[in-house]
Structure 1
Amino acid sequence: MKYSNMDERVERIKNKITAYPDFPKPGILFRDIFSVLQTPPVFHDLMTVLEEKVKSVCPDVDIIMGLDSRGFLFGAPLALSLNKPFVPVRKRGKLPGELKQISYTLEYGTDVFEAQASSIKAGQKVVIIDDLLATGGSMKAAAELVKEMGGVVALCLVCIELTDLKGRDRLKDPCEAIVKY
């Protein structure tokens, strides 16, 4: 693993993330990861850094789980690169078959996450990935869902963390962020 240029790559990623003031409502500064995806060399940097994080923190990971919906953008290619199964966590009503679900609180109400019941077996080590850690509600819910399914949360991994919202404080499992604001 090459870490010599990790800081340069992270700096390129951070420089590509676009900020939109007052979106989706006044007072919010929205950090947009899509500008990274629109720049293939920087998107490649991000995927490489994510893979290196997983290999260093949890080299024996069994499953990569991505959260609806932007977690899919990073989780599926990461799983493919690591040759591991990808498990999507979706909002209620989006997945077929027997499901496990968990409800969680958002800033503006409640929601439900679901995963296919057979997607995680007892004792499997899971890396949960999403684009953003803000208040921590969705990541916490996903971690609880993994545990209810018998899995072990090896790592909560995000591209961007908004540190002033203290979402990390709500998590009981290891958490890594590529870019912090």
Structure 2
Amino acid sequence: MPTPALTRYSMQNLSVDQYLRAHIRTVPDWPAPGVQFRDITPLLQDAKVFRVLIDAFIHRYMDPSIRPDVVAGLDARGFILGAVVAYELNVGFVPIRKKGKLPFTTVEETYELEYGSATVELHTDAVKPGDRVLLIDDLIATGGTMMAGMKLLEKLGAQVIEGAAIVDLPELGGSDKLRASGLALFTLLDFSGH
């Protein structure tokens, strides 16, 4: 059931941007003091809102000039979006997982976090050389996960045509870093602060 505070928002008087923004919950001081966590789960809980969200991506990627052959989703919320977008576009979906979660031969990429590092993996047969891949996640903060995902796909010879996310947190610099690396980005919303 939708969150009662959110049911008052109908698309009737709102743009897609405003409608989606109205359904993202900000949780102050989580997971640490000073962080404004942008919770996308309300976007997924209501069928109509979820459809509007997915359609915003589908309408973009139906354009033949940026239509992917494959959608790759970043662990874990990128799986939710990526699998549905791939299904709607009638293309394959590949998961980019945290280290140790894939059962077959993998390639891996380690990236730096604010405190420490993390590693993501991809099956070696997930994409073919020349595949045009849409790389998708829920949010871009520092850009580390998306950059690592792009490097994995490129190791296998795929071309990442665009990185996509629901939310960009531009003050954290991730989207600038990704664009500087040559990755085209598409995000539906940006939020100031972090």
Q: Which TM class, normalised by the smaller chain length?
A: over 0.9
Q: Of residues 79, 82, 87 in structure 2, which corresponds to 1:80?
A: 87
* Closer/same/farther in 2, CA of residues 150 and 179 from structure 1, 3 Å limit: same
What is the TM-score normalised by the length of structure 2? 0.87
* DSSP 3-state at the match of 2:15: helix
Is 1:173–2:179 an aligned residue pair?
no
Q: Tell me the equivalent position of 1:135.
A: 142
The answer to whether the 8 Å contact 1:18/1:31 transfers is: yes
Higher Cα Rg, which structure: 2
How many Å separate the matches in 2 of 1:164 and 1:39? Answer: 29
1:51-66 residue pairs with structure 2 within 5 A?
51-56=58-63, 58-66=65-73
Residues 75-84 or 47-56, more deviating = 47-56
Q: Tell me the equivalent position of 2:107.
A: 100
Deviant stretches of 4+, over 4 Å: none
The answer to whether the 8 Å contact 1:133/1:162 transfers is: yes
Q: Of residues 43, 47, 56 in structure 1, which corresponds to 2:54?
A: 47
Question: Please, what is the CA RMSD of the aligned residues?
Answer: 1.4
| Contiguous gaps of at least 5 residues in structure 2 | 1-11
* DSSP 3-state at the match of 1:118: coil
What is the TM-score normalised by the length of structure 1? 0.93
Give the total of aligned pairs.
176
| Contiguous gaps of at least 5 residues in structure 1 | none
- Identity percentage of aligned residues: 36
